[in-house]
Amino acid sequence: MIQDYLVLSIVLFCLGMLGVITRRNVFTVFMSVELMLNAANLAFIAFSRLHQTMDGHVLAMLVMAVAAAEAALALAVVILLHKHKSRLDTNVFSLLKG
Amino acid sequence: MEHSVTYLGYIPLMPLLGALVLGLLHLFTCRGKALPELLYGALACIGPLLSFIFALVVFFHLKGLPAEERFLVHNAFTWFAVGDLHVDMGFLADPLSSLMLLFVTLIGSLIHIYSVGYMAGDENFGKFFAYLNLFLGSMLILVLASGPVVMFVGWEGVGLCSYLLISYYCKETENVIAGNKAFIVNRIGDLGFVLGMSLLFWAIGAGGFDYLSLKANVDKIAPATGIAICLLLFVGACGKSAQIPLYVWLPDAMAGPTPVSALIHAATMVTAGVYMVARFSFLYASHATAGTVVAWVGILTALLAAIFGMFQKDIKKILAYSTVSQLGYMFAGVGIAAYSAGIFHVFTHAFFKALLFLGAGSVIYALHHQQDIWKMGGLKSKLPKTYLTMMIGAFALAGCPPFSGFFSKDEILFSALATGHTGIWLVGVLVAGMTAYYTFRMIFLVFHGEPRDAEAHAHAHEPPAVMTVPLQILAFGALFAGFLNLPGIFGGSLKVSQWLAPSLVDHHPHVSVWLELLAILTSIAAFAIGITLAHRKFGQGAQEPEFTGFAKFGYHKFYVDELYNAVFVQPYKAFGGLISRFFEPYVTDCHVRLSTWLYRKAGMAFKALQVGYVRVYAIYMVIGLSLMSLFLSQTIH
């Protein structure tokens, strides 16, 4: 039982991770990050259910709150990036190149 | 039995405090409006005068004690104590140092007063007096020190101040070079002093490292070590007191203001070497070989400097060489174990040499910084007070009876004759004649005859009283100081020698009256011949000769400076260049360069990882976190 939830969670997480690594559009990267967060939430809820405690629920609620806050910030950053270069390709923003 | 008195410490403290106050005042006001010169002058003269008063108190205190108890000590504080070496900041006043104190403070004070007039209008008036006070304070530490280490503090102090004051007019490169030369040559001497002092400590220092303990333990030194110590200390004395081969700095030291020259030559600095040898008389007396070396170096220096003095044309250089020459006499005196005679010559020399320098300063002041004696002449009528006082100084320097220089010089020459050092005596008599010659050559050219530079002569005028009064006081000393140590043959009883006896290892040979008479008569004859020759040659309207042959050689000081330059300075410079070109880049700097090179290369290698794309950093994170998780899952079980 629990394995199914965990497998789903891992698959979602890996999809998100692949999205972050391979995609170049800032929005897609951002959405992939959300996907990874929700994969983690799924694992929390599954374990919470398994152990019959509320800890996982609390953490999941917390993650959702943080994700919402982060979304507000990240979107603002995206707007600024767009203003700066008129592009939303992450490869454009490589000032830290050594 | 020792008597402890606190006021000994005040003697060097007064001028040092003066130096501090003057220095700070000058430092805080030099950017704005200068303070009145009178304030600086008064502050500067107070310290030395107070020291003089304390010196008198010390003298009379000692006089009131029985002869064998004449020691006053004051240990201000323990300076440091390492193992056997326990050094107090201690002061010792005994007959020797009290005599030194009296004339150092008196002449120092007079020179300070004179300087107020001489330096009037100088832009760094305050700085000058701060240095001057510091100079005097250092000399007083040197004189009053209770042991070699404290003496060395004063020793270095006077070295520093001579550097500061010689290069006082620091806007001209020559003066700065002269100051450097004095400092570097003194450094060579100081190395000798330090080595001698260390050797002395190694030999007998464990029993206490002050003069009184050293004197008590002096028998424990092995003869060879003793001679080595004496000679090393003498190297120090050579540097400070300008003897062969380290005399070269003193004539160049004329670059400083004239009162400084007077202070260096009369009261402070150059007398330090003679004083030091007399201080260690217990050491030198038991090692006659070292004493003989000292005496011969001294008398040869006297001869060499007298030869140079005969051909100079700068009035201050003539006086400078006369100082080197007279110092030679003093070393001859202390070398043949006639310590009191040597110290007495220091004493009288201080008066007449300060007088001559300050007189020369008056002449230079009157002629607006003209120092070439071939451009002077006929100043007798223009500067009557200076003429009269300088004449007294010249007679004293030349050794004419009954002026002070005669008695002290004669005492040295007589001692040489009496102790069987006939060679030294002969050279000494020769130098006495040469001294009379070059002294009066200077006097005749400056004051007699017709003026050679009519315009300067017309504008010359006697300097103010603040300058002439010190001259008169010094002239009084130069005239009468000799009577303090009148030998038996003139109805005296060698009072100064008797006074000094408790602190020196001195012995007076008893010889026939005829020998003493011989010494006196030859001295007078040498003086008479010297002055006659000078008068015949320069008495009336001599003109500047073209130097040829030996005279040219003498005028250029036997090219010793050039020789030193070629033998020591240039090879040393070349050696330094070699080191900076090869040793430094390839040996010492190479390690430092290697480590910076390694860091740079490593940075270049790691640079490839920093691609700048967010995605790639995400991959690094994933890899890192995965590895961490893997590691954790392995270890938890």
Q: Would you say how long chain B is, in residues? A: 637
DSSP structure string for B479-498: HHGGGGG--GGGT---HHHH
DSSP structure string for B368-426: TS--BGGG---TTTT-HHHHHHHHHHHHHHHT-TTSHHHHHHHHHHHHHHHTT-HHHHH
Residue A97 lies in a domain: no
DSSP single-letter state for residue B546: P
Whole-number Å distance between alpha carbons of B456 and B619:
94
- Nearest CB partner across the interface for A94, out of B608, B609, B613: B613
Residue A8 lies in a domain: yes
> A38 CA to chain B: closest CA distance, Å?
17
Q: Residue B475 corresponds to which tokens in the numbers above?
A: 């002239």
Task: Count Cβ atoms below 10 Å from residue B31 Cβ, excluding itself.
Answer: 7
> A60 CA to chain B: closest CA distance, Å?
21
Q: Using a CB–CB cutoff of 8 Å, tell me whether A20 touches chain B.
A: yes
User: Do B602 and B509 fall into the same domain?
Assistant: no
Contacts of A97 in chain B (CB under 8 A): 610-612
Mean pLDDT of chain A: 91
Q: In what order do the strands lie in the sheet with B3-4?
A: B3-4, B72-82, B85-93
Residue B494 lies in a domain: yes
Interface predicted TM-score (ipTM):
0.87
Q: Using a CB–CB cutoff of 8 Å, tell me whether A3 touches chain B.
A: no
Count how many domains chain B has.
2
User: Do B615 and B541 fall into the same domain?
Assistant: no
Region A63-67 average pLDDT: 94
User: Do B459 and B499 fall into the same domain?
Assistant: yes
Give the up-direction half-sphere exposure of residue B609: CA atoms within 13 A in the CB hemisphere.
9
Contacts of A98 in chain B (CB under 8 A): 606-612
Cis peptide before B402 (omega within 30 of 0): yes
Q: Residue B79 corresponds to which tokens in the numbers above?
A: 């300076």
Distance set, CA B100 to CA B97, B143, B160, B593 (Å): 5, 7, 21, 57
pLDDT tens digits along B331-349: 999 988 888 888 999 999 9
| Global pTM value | 0.79
User: Do B503 and B571 fall into the same domain?
Assistant: no
Residue B239 lies in a domain: no
Residue B611 lies in a domain: yes
CB contact under 8 A, A22 and B615: yes
Residue B409 lies in a domain: yes
Radius of gyration of chain B (CA): 30
Region A15-30 average pLDDT: 91
Predicted confidence at residue B37, as pLDDT, reads 80
Whole-number Å distance between alpha carbons of B343 and B334:
8
- Nearest CB partner across the interface for A21, out of B608, B610, B618: B618
Q: Is B83 left (phi over 0), alpha (psi -120 to 50) or beta?
A: left
Nearest to B149, CA basis, from B108, B227, B96, B92: B92
Burial class of A5 by CB neighbour count within 10 A (0 to 12, 13 to 18, 19+): middle
Q: Identify the residue whose tokens are 């000081």.
A: B557
* B192-210 residues labelled b (16+ CB within 10 A) or e (exposed): bbbbbbebbbebbbeebbb
Q: What is the CATH number of the domain that holds A11?
A: 1.10.287.3510
Whole-number Å distance between alpha carbons of B582 and B55:
57
User: Do B334 and B405 fall into the same domain?
Assistant: yes
Residue B177 lies in a domain: no
User: Do B404 and B504 fall into the same domain?
Assistant: yes
Residue A34 lies in a domain: yes
Burial class of B166 by CB neighbour count within 10 A (0 to 12, 13 to 18, 19+): buried
Residues 6+ apart with CB under 8 A from A58: none
CB contact under 8 A, B609 and A17: no
Give chain B's contact residues with A (Cβ, < 8 Å): 606-615, 618-619, 622
Contacts of B614 in chain A (CB under 8 A): 29, 90, 93
Predicted confidence at residue B506, as pLDDT, reads 65
Q: Which of B555, B584, B603 is the endpoint of a domain? A: B555
Q: For chain A, what is the largest distance between any 2 Cα atoms, rounded to a whole number of angstroms?
A: 51
Residue B240 lies in a domain: no
Count how many domains chain A has.
1
Residue A91 lies in a domain: no
Residue B256 lies in a domain: no
Beta carbons of B203 and B221 less than 8 angstroms apart: yes
> B592 CA to chain A: closest CA distance, Å?
26
CB contact under 8 A, A98 and B614: no
> B632 CA to chain A: closest CA distance, Å?
18
User: Do B436 and B548 fall into the same domain?
Assistant: yes
Region A55-64 average pLDDT: 94
Residue A22 lies in a domain: yes
CB contact under 8 A, B610 and A93: no
Q: Which of B555, B579, B599 is the endpoint of a domain? A: B555
Q: Which amino acid, residue B573?
A: K
Contacts of B622 in chain A (CB under 8 A): 17, 21
User: Do B436 and B315 fall into the same domain?
Assistant: yes
Q: Using a CB–CB cutoff of 8 Å, tell me whether A42 touches chain B.
A: no
Residue A95 lies in a domain: no
Whole-number Å distance between alpha carbons of B238 and B189:
6
Beta carbons of B497 and B341 less than 8 angstroms apart: yes
Whole-number Å distance between alpha carbons of B447 and B384:
9
3 state DSSP class of B539:
coil
Would you give the end-to-end CA distance of chain A in angstroms? 48
Q: Using a CB–CB cutoff of 8 Å, tell me whether A27 touches chain B.
A: no
Mutant choice from B606, B607, B614 vs A, greatest count of A C-beta within 10 A: B614
User: Do B429 and B541 fall into the same domain?
Assistant: yes
User: Do B531 and B604 fall into the same domain?
Assistant: no
Whole-number Å distance between alpha carbons of B537 and B541:
9
Predicted confidence at residue B193, as pLDDT, reads 93
Provide block-wise average pLDDT over 10 residues at a time, chain B (637 residues): 77 92 87 78 90 92 84 86 84 89 91 88 86 93 91 92 90 89 91 92 82 84 89 91 87 86 84 90 87 92 91 89 92 89 90 90 86 84 88 90 87 87 91 92 87 80 85 89 81 78 73 83 90 85 74 81 88 92 86 91 89 88 93 86
* B352-390 residues labelled b (16+ CB within 10 A) or e (exposed): bbbbbbbbbbbbbbbbeeebebebbbbbbebbebbbbbb
Residue B19 lies in a domain: no
> B156 CA to chain A: closest CA distance, Å?
58
User: Do B469 and B611 fall into the same domain?
Assistant: no
pLDDT tens digits along B145-166: 988 999 999 999 999 999 999 9
Q: Using a CB–CB cutoff of 8 Å, tell me whether A1 touches chain B.
A: no
User: In terms of residue numbers, what domain contains B632?
Assistant: 567-636
Whole-number Å distance between alpha carbons of B58 and B449:
48
Would you give the end-to-end CA distance of chain B in angstroms? 89
User: In terms of residue numbers, what domain contains A6?
Assistant: 2-86
**Percent of chain A having pLDDT more than 70?**
99
Residue A71 lies in a domain: yes
**Contacts A–B by Cβ distance under 8 A:** 33
Q: Which of B555, B587, B619 is the endpoint of a domain? A: B555
> B20 CA to chain A: closest CA distance, Å?
59
Q: Residue B249 corresponds to which tokens in the numbers above?
A: 């700095």
Q: Using a CB–CB cutoff of 8 Å, tell me whether A91 touches chain B.
A: yes
